[in-house]
Structures are given as C-alpha cells and as structure tokens.
Amino acid sequence: MRVLITGAAGMVGRAVSDHCRSIGDEVFSCDHQSLDIADPDLVLTTLRQDRPEAVINCAAWTDVDGCELDPERAFAANARGPENLALASRQLNARFVTISTDYVFSGEKEGFYTQRDQADPQSIYGVSKLEGERRAQSAYSRTIIVRTGFIFGPGGNNFLSTIVERARHGDKLKGIADAYGTPTYSRDLAVRLRELAQLDLPGTFHVVNAGDGVSYEVFARAALDLGGYSSTSIESVLASSLHRPAPRPRNSRLRCLLSGPIGLSPLPFWKDSVGDFVALNARSELAAKS
C-alpha cells in the first residue's frame, strides 16, 4: 500500500514508518518540517503529489502543559490538522487514520472507558484533540479515530524512557501513585494502526496493550524490574503535588468494544511489551558502546 505518515519524527510516527516499510509498503514519511498539518494548502499539495492510498496521522502537539498555555497552537495542530488531512484524503479517496487520546475523558469514571462513554476533556490538549476527532469525522466519513494512552517506545520523550534513563544515571525517581492508564507500546500500536487502515472500517477505536491498567508508579516499577534496576527505589507521589498547569485524568484506562467483534486479537499484555522495550533499549546501548 502507498502510505503517507505525518509526524514521522515523533515516537509513534517512527514506529509506524518502520512497520509499514517492514511489510513492504511504499512509505511517505513526513516530519513537521516537511509537512505542517495545520497548513491546508500544503497538506493538499503534498497528498496530491504523493497520491497515498492511506494517510496515518501521527502528528500532534503533545505537550499537555504547553497546550494549556497556548490554545491557538494546540488547536492548529490538534484540531485543524486532522481536519485538513481528512479533507485532503477525501479528495484523493484515501483511507484516513488519525490518533487521538485517552485525555478526551474526564477521568472521573471507575473502570475502563469504552466508546459508550461521553467524552468530557478537562485540558486544552484534550479539548483540542476531541475537536480534531469531530472535525475529521465530519469532513470525511471514512475517518478512523484511534484513541490510545500511556504510550512508550523508542525514540520518544516518554515517561518510561525517562525513568529507565534516570535509573541508569542513579537519579532520584518519582512515580505518580494516583493516576491510572492502560500502557501502549508504540510498536504494537503501529501494527494495529496499519491493520485498521487495511480494514477500512470507519469509526472510533480504543487501542492499548492488554491488561487491567496501572498507575504510573507501578508502570515505572515494572520497567525498572525488567531492566535490572530492582534495587532502585521510586518515591510515591500524588499527582496534585506536581502543580502542573494542565489537569490530567485520574483514571483514563481504555477498553475497545469494536476490536474483538471485527476479529482483531488483543495487543500483547503490557508487561511483555515493556520487557521487549527494555531489551531493545539494552541492545541499542550495547551497540552504541561497541
């Protein structure tokens, strides 16, 4: 398939580009510099030039606190961006997959959020991402929305990489004990995004690794144990003690009502994927040393 990937220098964009290449797709990887998704003319020109059969949008402004302080920039990337891509995909009759977030939910629910739950974002980031979902769906009925959360993987500025890196340097670590989510490995997510593009079934999907979900503290503890840092301690903290500008959901665990019924098997158990990630990190470190 001819696949155009936006935000291709980001954590998920890299994983999707790598995966699509590995299965023989013709891949057009566009980073922020080469394609600003907030620019409708550039989006249309790029898609007309590359003529993709599928567009997978991995671009977003993901700095949750930054979005709180600069809503205009948040809406440009996270709301108008998906809309521009949806409109251009429609013109080219391309499949369109765009990633959204668990932060569209308030976090007040106990248990898992499914597609039956009403979105009620509490942060500018969440509001801008939900607006991106709605604009994309109303611009192009073929849109596939993928909500996910707690993403970890190589090449990203993500919580888990930071924890492992800091443990390696002997730094003090903190883990939030009262915020829960369902971890998602960027490589597993990439496989599912491509499968969904292939299936071409419009709708909203929740895509996370299997398991009951965890707090950040437990998530970090698992990565440290699997990475050989069992003796490294984590200071347990409450989210409120961090005084961050943007509110975050207390619970944003996701479950999908649609994946099973359409024949998609669950993604691997999150701890197995954390193990893969930690092993990959260790191999990269060894290769860098030799």
Question: Looking at the annotation, which residues are catalytic?
Answer: 125
Part in contact with ligand NAP (CB under 6 A); list of ranges 10-18, 44-52, 164-172, 274-282 = 10-18
H-only helix segments in 55-208: 64-69, 71-75, 81-92, 124-139, 159-168, 186-199
Question: Can you tell me which of 64, 87, 127, 151 binds ligand NAP, judged by CB under 6 A?
Answer: 151
Question: Can you tell me which of 7, 126, 175, 268 binds ligand NAP, judged by CB under 6 A?
Answer: 7
Return d(Cα 233, Cα 152) in angstroms, integer. 21
Binding to ligand NAP, residues 79-108 (CB under 6 A)? 81, 99, 101-102
Q: Does residue 264 bind ligand NAP (CB under 6 A)? A: no
Question: Can you tell me which of 3, 58, 145, 164 binds ligand NAP, judged by CB under 6 A?
Answer: 58
For residue 9 the two structure tokens come to: 């220098």
Compare residues 81 and 227 and give the one whose CB is closer to ligand NAP: 81
Backbone φ and ψ for 26, nearest 5 degrees, come out as -90, 115
Contacts of residue 286, Cβ cutoff 8 Å, sequence gap at least 6: none
Return d(Cα 33, Cα 13) in angstroms, integer. 14
Binding to ligand NAP, residues 19-38 (CB under 6 A)? 32, 35-38
HSE-up of residue 92 (Cα within 13 Å, Cβ side): 24
Binding site for ligand NAP (CB under 6 A): 6-7, 9-13, 32, 35-38, 58-62, 77, 81, 99, 101-102, 129, 148-151, 156, 158
